[in-house]
Structure 1
Amino acid sequence: MRLKLFSLLNLPLLAMLLTALHASPARADIWAYIDGQGVTHFSSLQLDERYELFSRGGESFTTGKTAGSQAQGLAATPPRLRAYFELSPGYKAVRHLLREASDKHGIDYELLQALIATESGFNAQAVSPKGAVGLMQLIPPTAARYGVKSDKTAQAEQKLTDPRTNIRAGSSYLNYLIKLFPGEIELAIAAYNAGEGAVQRAGNRIPNYPETKNYVKTVMQLYNQLKPAGTGRGTSVSSVNSGRVRMEMMGGASGRANLPGALAASASFALPEAAARLD
């Protein structure tokens, strides 16, 4: 299942979140730029001169900060990242479905959140060049294993654009993979991207596919920030180096590093009560 670019936020919301995220240390620096199609690309590295700093990562323990202050910085990151997702209409429309799937399978809500953000950017109509469909980017043969098949009422591909159907099948598949590779959440995520056979053929290791390696890093980076270690994870995870994240945000000038600047270091962020990727 390939990663794609999809719309989550408009530029004004991005500007607000830039200010909020800049005010709090994160697990890794994130860079971003808007391309000629209005797509905002995120990366853990400044890949070229177009990228501007989106958020600054927490300082190393060797910089003179105490362990206590570092821990406080890391603890402050997840609420702001969650706030980032809360501003996505696609995400808000399916939160209850993620909760249902989390409760049914015992999968961390935040893991589902990170995986869907990576797979489709919460675009229920997403279709990949390889025919993966919907929020969790399922191909029809995989979906058929969980009861989503073409019939007289609709083709499987059409059924998979329904968020409830897609999340039910996708979370069931993820649950199967987590049980297939117990205690190895990275392998389950790799299998979701490349197939369980690819992981098994690699000797129960992450296959040596650049896309899959980057996919696992991206999902784990988001998951680690949404639910840091020590906060009651439902699955066993280990730290994975940050990877490239790309999402789409329509608006703004294009073709250059043009993200809002002059971010106030002392700014604070709170959501209104009414509101809260990789090729």
Structure 2
Amino acid sequence: MIRWLLRWGASLGIGLATASAQAGTGEVWGFVDGAGVAHVADHAVDSRYSLLLKGGEADANDRVPGKTMSRNRLLTWLEFAPEVKAVQPWLREAEQATGIDAELLKALITVESGYKGDSVSPRGAVGLMQITPATAQRYLTREETTARPIDEHLRDARSNILIGARMLADLTRRFGGIHLALAAWNAGEGRVRRSNGALPEIEETRSHVHMVLELYWALLQQRQLGRARELRVAGPVADTKAGTP
């Protein structure tokens, strides 16, 4: 379901914030028809509609560690914060190198470190993407390893992001989906294998996967803004149509 929803979201081509405002409530329901028209509403008009965005403020379990802002304020912060803008070119570079969306990397960094590049976890995970030296050694080339110590790679934002992107691409290939790759990132590969293709029954891991995917979904929609050929909003503004130039 999660993988289908992400593919659906990539094709939707509308901004969640725009749709939510036009629909008039905090919830957004929608679908894309065969002609490429995105239909959104503030309720499930019929069985074709799926819930895209829940209403209300994010609860405590949805908050990113170290940040007290709500989901919408967090997305605004991600759009304008200097520390986020500073690494954007490296996110795009990593996307080109590994095929992992920059928005997914952006969401993962938000949850892992809150863009504090000097973060070190109690388990020794370092930098923006919170990677341990042992893990980094698996994803650095021989030339990169001999060029400078692993710790320096992890404390360098560009290198940290590239290592993390390589790791996430590898986990996604081996586990067959983003949600399981994120679970393996958080809980370890062994625990995910033992869960037989499901998310491990670990509250921290499930919360981690949920937060990253929710941010990824919203960031992906921002990137796709305007790519739908047409937008139709049902409900109080049922006749509204928004075409792209």
Q: Is the TM-score greater than 0.5?
A: yes
Shift of 1:152: 8.6
Are 2:155 and 1:161 aligned? yes
Could you list the structure 1 runs, at least 4 aligned residues long, displaced by more than 3 angstroms after superposition: 23-26, 80-83, 148-155
TM-score (norm: length of structure 2)? 0.61
Are 2:118 and 1:125 aligned? yes
Show structure 1 runs of 5+ residues with no match.
1-19, 34-38, 43-53, 56-76, 233-279
Shift of 1:146: 1.5
Show structure 2 runs of 5+ residues with no match.
1-16, 28-52, 61-65, 226-245
Superposed CA offset, 1:29-71 (max 9, x none) = 32589xxxxx6425xxxxxxxxxxx47xxxxxxxxxxxxxxxx
How far apart in 2 are the matches of 1:175 and 1:164? Answer: 17
How far apart in 2 are the matches of 1:207 and 1:87? Answer: 35
Q: Residues 174 and 120 from structure 1, CA distance in 2 versus in 1: closer, same or farther, beyond 3 angstroms? A: same
User: Structure 2 counterpart of 1:161, which letter?
Assistant: R
* 1:94 partner SS: helix
Shift of 1:173: 0.3
Contact 1:101 1:168 (C-alpha < 8 Å) held by counterparts: yes
**Equivalent residue number for residue 91 of structure 1:** 84
Q: Residues 200 and 95 from structure 1, CA distance in 2 versus in 1: closer, same or farther, beyond 3 angstroms? A: same
Q: How does 1:191-270 map to 2 (within 5 A)?
A: 191-228=184-221, 231=224
**Equivalent residue number for residue 65 of structure 1:** none
Q: Residues 91 and 146 from structure 1, CA distance in 2 versus in 1: closer, same or farther, beyond 3 angstroms? A: same
Contact 1:90 1:124 (C-alpha < 8 Å) held by counterparts: no
Shift of 1:104: 1.5
Shift of 1:156: 2.4
**Equivalent residue number for residue 30 of structure 1:** 57
Q: Residues 179 and 31 from structure 1, CA distance in 2 versus in 1: closer, same or farther, beyond 3 angstroms? A: closer
User: Structure 2 counterpart of 1:109, which letter?
Assistant: A
How far apart in 2 are the matches of 1:176 and 1:153? Answer: 23
Shift of 1:122: 1.2
Higher relative contact order (CA 8 A, sep 6+): 1
Q: Which has the higher helix share?
A: 2
Shift of 1:200: 0.5
Contact 1:133 1:160 (C-alpha < 8 Å) held by counterparts: yes
**Equivalent residue number for residue 109 of structure 2:** 116
Contact 1:187 1:204 (C-alpha < 8 Å) held by counterparts: yes
TM-score (norm: length of structure 1)? 0.54
* 2:112 partner SS: helix
Shift of 1:147: 2.0
Count of aligned pairs between the two proteins:
172
